[in-house]
Structure 1
Amino acid sequence: MTIVLIRAENQTKILNSLADIERHAGLKINGTPRIIDNNLADKYAKSIMKDRLRSKSKIAVLVSVKEDATLSILQIRKIHPPAHLVVISEEYRQWEEIKKIFNTLPHSKDITLPRRKQTVQKILHRINKIINERKIFLFRIIFFKSFYFLYCLIFN
């Protein structure tokens, strides 16, 4: 398990970053994002990066990711999310502090993850619909062929 700190200027950028993490980076987000105080998030980001921050965040979120830290870092480097993402692994001394407060942080009601399940369900529904339509079409072909065969037998 790895924790990703997402710092942004607004909620839209947080949402886009969450979607990018799942869709483009291919990482599996565990649970829901947790809201963290933006000043505390800036403090953690500054201490992890050991450098000054270009800008202060107005909103920050912590997210737990299923994959390990190395894979998370490599995958997140490939994408260009609109927010600042900091992957926090067990190697950092801040890990224990963040892990302790992670479960106490409030869940975000406004920030929801991309609805991958509904998309998959819609695709499956469309596939079933196509299959059923083809079954009906095939049934009609078989019915009319058998009807034609009987017609030929009776009247010829």
Structure 2
Amino acid sequence: MTPAARTPSAVITLHSSFDFEVTLTRVKQALMKRGMTIFADIDQAAAASAASTQLRPTRLLLFGNPKGGTPIMDGNPHAALELPLRAVVWQAVDGPVQVDYLDPSATLVEHYGIDAALTGVFAAVPSLLAQAIDADRTDPAAWR
């Protein structure tokens, strides 16, 4: 990660208590246990390797529940560009494993005119992810 790397306000970063593979497994299991579908699991490090370059362990998960996403896309078909939900599990150069979750709520309301009541379904995702990776949710540093 470059020193100039910034975290956008819509990104929630959680620090895992586990190694990369265990974190990835726990996140996927937690999502599926809550009835979410994992639409894609993209191994970005493997793609980098196939392109003869290197990237730290990085897996992008596309996930969601059509019961929550369909009304949003029905309200504005362009909102499908923000869904499914996304989380990335990655390992920093110095070792810590992190999970970044992209919360689309504000973008959907502000840019697509989606009723905020429809985006409320996303509110539980950070807590679900935090529980999966055993993050200390009482520590504000564990959230952003």
TM-score, normalising length from structure 2?
A: 0.30
Specify the structure having the higher radius of gyration (Cα).
Answer: 1
More helix by share: 1
